[in-house]
Chain A
């Protein structure tokens, strides 16, 4: 079990460019979460899928952020027209689904917008 895999580990984009972050959840897990981590805001919930369906995106900035889960083995977080304030570590996590189950995090993608 390789755990939750996130790629790339580091990404640098120019202001205004698009960034796509990838996540491979643990095989068999039905729930996938995206979080954003910064020193100022800590860990912020962005969005949540269950069985590939979007369940809650209440934490997503509406205009430039989007997330998809086209199949059970990967999810993507896309940020259009990146801004310096988007610089953060983006963490993907997965769990077995509903109920009292543990959430496992990936190592994160550090996005730097210059």
Chain B
């Protein structure tokens, strides 16, 4: 079945430094790839999604490129802020969502001033 593997957390950073959270996936299909972010006491919320290989998604300074050859979808941000502290989930899903989304285990990111 489908699977998603991402950087094991926690990741601790200082404000202004760069962030990379690695994500690799396995699937026999042609999925849409997602990054979700979850703040304490909230459900996961979509950060951005990329439906096609070799395309890039971005939002709030975060970006990731759908690399079909490497089966990767690494999340990057050049300069993090304290408000970026959250748990980040990489996920994949088929366009008809018949199987729901397959999530990675999540990466807790803590940014200190």
A interface residues (Cβ-Cβ under 8 A, vs B): 4, 31, 33, 35, 41-43, 45, 48, 55-56, 58-59, 91, 93, 95, 98-108
In terms of DSSP, what is the predominant structure of the interface of chain A? strand
Given contacts A56-B100, A100-B32, contact A42 B106 (CB under 8 A): yes
A7 to chain B: closest CB distance in Å?
A: 14
Q: How far is the CB of B99 from chain A (nearest CB, A)?
A: 6
Whether B105 contacts A93 by the Cβ 8 Å rule is no
What 6 new A-B contacts, CB under 8 Å, besides A4-B43, A104-B46?
A31-B97, A33-B101, A42-B105, A59-B100, A93-B43, A107-B42
* B16 contacts chain A at the CB level, 8 A cutoff: no
Task: Decide: A98 and B49 in contact? CB cutoff 8 A.
Answer: no
Query: Which 7 pairs from chain A and chain B are nearest by CB?
Result: A105-B43, A42-B105, A45-B100, A43-B103, A98-B96, A105-B44, A107-B43
Tell me if B46 and A100 are in contact (CB < 8 A).
Answer: no
